[in-house]
Structure 1
């Protein structure tokens, strides 16, 4: 796990002096030092500059980067892990490739030099890399199948630049980073910037499962993998499918135990992380597990994590958080993100990574099943909304909606009124827009009065949520629920869940691995019809059945709980000073972005308890904290 950065100077004209290019490259990789505190590498190859910050995991002695092949034909800078590198070394050595190290990095060089872009199909793991082919003067880059590792790029004045985080671009003086209002509006809608967009104009994220080729000033991107479509009803019995699923799970966990440093498991006490912990405990003696708890009872799940830890006799480490402690950390954590992301669980995830890194260097986690096995409540809600939409209009408007308005507000984990209002808002939306309406902080309608100078094209759902519609309608599955799952994996998980885990873990130089996002396992699950994932209201159907004999019944019977914090009460309490400072009328008028009257209304209604605007105010507060730290150039 590392940080990478670099650039390719245009072919025409003279190159800047070597010392100057090395200084730029060193500054860019220096901004990524938290991703790789164990070493730095800089390389200049003609017009190409490649930088690397290393977190040593495999081949601690000889795995430094940028790395050349034995014949000096290509050089690569790489972030991630190739879990099948031993098999690849045997395969490519038999074809004549000369290996010099025991590092997985050389497998990438071999794949490119022997198979070109087609070599990506052989790589199993999480990765983002950039490789310079000296003979063809080509830069080739790729991102793993689910986008676990980040890869940003831009082209400005003929210079191609790339990095693991946008903070590296802030150190390159030949780049201009400008934030348009359109990016702010998209963030307010999604609570993140959906790939390939970023918070900056003309700066992009490489899509997952895609490669990139830069040659002679021309950029080409291409997919090399995508999630497969659901197949027909399997001929195998459910018992046989469960057995195959357990086998694939065990195989995936075993692959991710590859390391020359200590490792452990994130343990929340939910089905996903508990499954990973249980399988790991069967392969490793006295595995270390880590969890976070909350002093607020309605948010605390630590007792379930302790239950699993006792069941599998793990070396368990736990930290209980108070609201005051989390609230005090929020500004610093948000500001350290390279682009804004309004998932409230960044605070506990950051602290979980901190306590984990005090003990190990690698941690396995439970990300992925909510998207692949339809674990979110939004999946059955999607089907329920289809039934609701068929009800007579008078029943919806005269009976159900008035009853929903009678529900009480709550600052706890579940707010009945907030849940009902959110469901009704999306229930009659088009299929492609339904779930995103439920997820959004600010819909197109809600943004009309939010900005002083909004972008007109983004004041319609079709314009604001175009990235979601593109994914939903571009996935050729017959079952709309499969399209919902595709959007969740390719948008929500990619840019929200995985970004949160990557940034929070890497802030502490901790490598996080996701066994459920193994290629073989994911392809098996994706090909299953929806009934094996959602059976009525029962989510993760086949997964729960497959691990029924493995986990305590208390874990199997639990409902889905998010890794959340008491946002609603914080905004009225310990975060109130920051709300007043950053969302107050004086600051907003000086800033000239938001409409002070509309923001003031949201703050007043929330703090008085008249309405629950936690999502809206949290999203605005996160954005303001990020703007205060990064100070981008704002443009219309």
Structure 2
């Protein structure tokens, strides 16, 4: 796990002197030192500059980067791991490639030189890399199939620049990093900036499963993999499917145990991380597991992690914290993100990564099944909404909606009134927008009065939520639920879950691996009809059946909850000073972006418990904390 950065000067242009470019490149890599504390590599080669920060995982002695092939034709800077590199080395050696190291990096060079972009199909792992081909004067870059590893790029003044994080691009003085109001609106809607856009104008994230080619001032991007469509009813019995799923998961875990440094497992006590821990315990002697808990009983679920750790006799490490006290960490964590991202669980994820890094360098986690196996409550709700929409209008308007308005507000984990209002809003939305309506902090309608200047064109739902519409309608599955799953994997998981884990783990120089996002496993799951993922109200149906004999019954019967965070109370308590400062009338008037009256209404109603605006206020506070730290130029 590392950080990569670089730029390519345009053909015919006059680049700065080599030493000046080297200093710029070093500034870029220095901004990502947390991603690679074990070394820095810089290369100036004609118009190209490639930089690397290394976190040593495989071939600690000889794996430094940027790395050249033996003939000096190409050089690569690489972030991630290629899990099948040993098999690929044998394959490429038979075809004449001369390997000089035991590093997985070298197989990327071989794949390009022997097969070009088609060589990506052979790579199993998580990766983002940029490769400079000296012969063809081509920069070739790619991102792994699910986007575990980040890669952003821009083209300005003829210069192509790329980096693992936007903070590295900000070190290049010849780039203009401006934030359009439209990007802020998109963030208010999603709580993140959906790929391929970023918070900055003309700066993009490479889509997962895509590569790019930069040659003679021309950029080409293309997909090399996508999630397969659901297939017909399988011929195998459910028991046979369970056995195959279990074997594929075991294979995936085994692949991710390749490392020359200590490794362990994130263990929340949920089905997903518990299954990974169980399988790892069968392959590693006394595997280390890690969890955090909270001193407040209503937020603490650490007993489930201890239950699993005891079942498999792991070397378990646990830290109990105060949920109330954790809120004070938010400003520091948010300010270190290269883009704003309003997932409240960034705080416990950051702390879990910190605890884990004190003991190991690599950690396996349970990300992926909620999207691939339909584990979120939104999947059964999607079906329920279809039934609700078929009810006679008078039943909906005169019975159900008035009853929903009688439900109480609560600052706890579940707020009945908020849940009901959110469900009803999504139930009447178009299919493509239904789930995103449930997920959004600010709908198009609720943003109408949020901004100082009205922008009705941007706030049309088809435009504000265009990234979701494109994914939903572009995935040609007959089953709408499969389209929902595709959007979850290609948007919510990509830009919310995986970004959170990558940034929080890398802040502590910890590599996080996701066995459920293995290509073989994911393709098997994607091809299954939806009924093997959602059976009635039973979510993750086949997965739970496949691991039923591995895990304690109390774990299998748990509902999906995630990290429990007292956001509503934080906003009234220890975060109130930041709320008053950054969302206060004076600051908003001076800033000139938001409508002070509307934001003031949200703050007052939440503070007095007249309404629960935790989601909206949290999103606004995160954005304001990020803006205060990064100070971008805001443009119309």
TM-score, length of structure 1 as denominator length: 1.00
CA RMSD of aligned residues (A): 0.6
* Structure 1 CA distance for aligned equivalents of residues 323 and 532 of structure 2: 39
* Structure 1 CA distance for aligned equivalents of residues 246 and 454 of structure 2: 51
| Deviation at residue 407 of structure 1 after TM alignment | 0.9
* 8 Å CA contact retained: 1:350, 1:504: yes
Aligned to 2:113: 113
* Structure 1 CA distance for aligned equivalents of residues 18 and 249 of structure 2: 49
* 8 Å CA contact retained: 1:323, 1:570: no
* Structure 2 CA distance for aligned equivalents of residues 386 and 298 of structure 1: 34
Aligned to 1:69: 69
* 8 Å CA contact retained: 2:85, 2:104: yes
In the TM superposition, what are the counterparts of 1:74-113 in structure 2 within 5 Å? 74-113=74-113
Aligned to 1:619: 619
In the TM superposition, what are the counterparts of 1:9-408 in structure 2 within 5 Å? 9-408=9-408
* 8 Å CA contact retained: 1:278, 1:550: yes
* Structure 2 CA distance for aligned equivalents of residues 96 and 236 of structure 1: 41
| Deviation at residue 296 of structure 1 after TM alignment | 2.7
| Deviation at residue 454 of structure 1 after TM alignment | 4.0
| Deviation at residue 457 of structure 1 after TM alignment | 2.0
Aligned to 2:592: 592
| Deviation at residue 37 of structure 1 after TM alignment | 0.1
| Counterparts in 2 of 1:454 and 1:60: CA distance versus 1, 3 Å | farther
Aligned to 1:469: 469
| Deviation at residue 453 of structure 1 after TM alignment | 1.9
| Deviation at residue 170 of structure 1 after TM alignment | 1.1
SS in 1 for 2:278: helix
* Structure 1 CA distance for aligned equivalents of residues 305 and 454 of structure 2: 46
| Deviation at residue 295 of structure 1 after TM alignment | 2.3
Aligned to 1:537: 537
Aligned to 2:435: 435
| Deviation at residue 422 of structure 1 after TM alignment | 0.7
* Structure 1 CA distance for aligned equivalents of residues 519 and 31 of structure 2: 32
* Structure 2 CA distance for aligned equivalents of residues 60 and 274 of structure 1: 30
SS in 1 for 2:457: helix
Gaps of 5+ in 1: none
* Structure 1 CA distance for aligned equivalents of residues 177 and 508 of structure 2: 26
* Structure 1 CA distance for aligned equivalents of residues 77 and 478 of structure 2: 41
Gaps of 5+ in 2: none
* 8 Å CA contact retained: 2:299, 2:323: no
* Structure 2 CA distance for aligned equivalents of residues 611 and 393 of structure 1: 27
* 8 Å CA contact retained: 1:472, 1:487: yes
SS in 1 for 2:605: helix
SS in 1 for 2:146: coil
* Structure 1 CA distance for aligned equivalents of residues 373 and 389 of structure 2: 25
* Structure 2 CA distance for aligned equivalents of residues 489 and 121 of structure 1: 20
* 8 Å CA contact retained: 1:570, 1:576: yes
SS in 1 for 2:621: helix
Q: Deviations over 1:168-207 (max 9, x none)?
A: 0111111110000000000000000000000000000000
Q: Deviations over 1:322-373 (max 9, x none)?
A: 1343111110000000000000000000000000000000000000000000
* Structure 1 CA distance for aligned equivalents of residues 570 and 283 of structure 2: 42
| Deviation at residue 392 of structure 1 after TM alignment | 0.7
* Structure 2 CA distance for aligned equivalents of residues 166 and 625 of structure 1: 17
Q: Deviations over 1:228-262 (max 9, x none)?
A: 00000000000000000000000000000000000
Aligned to 1:420: 420
* 8 Å CA contact retained: 1:145, 1:210: yes
* 8 Å CA contact retained: 1:181, 1:455: no
Give runs of ≥4 in structure 1 deviating > 4 Å: none
TM-score, length of structure 2 as denominator length: 1.00
In the TM superposition, what are the counterparts of 1:553-568 in structure 2 within 5 Å? 553-568=553-568
| Deviation at residue 15 of structure 1 after TM alignment | 2.0
Aligned residues: 636
Q: Deviations over 1:11-36 (max 9, x none)?
A: 11322100100000000000000000
SS in 1 for 2:388: helix
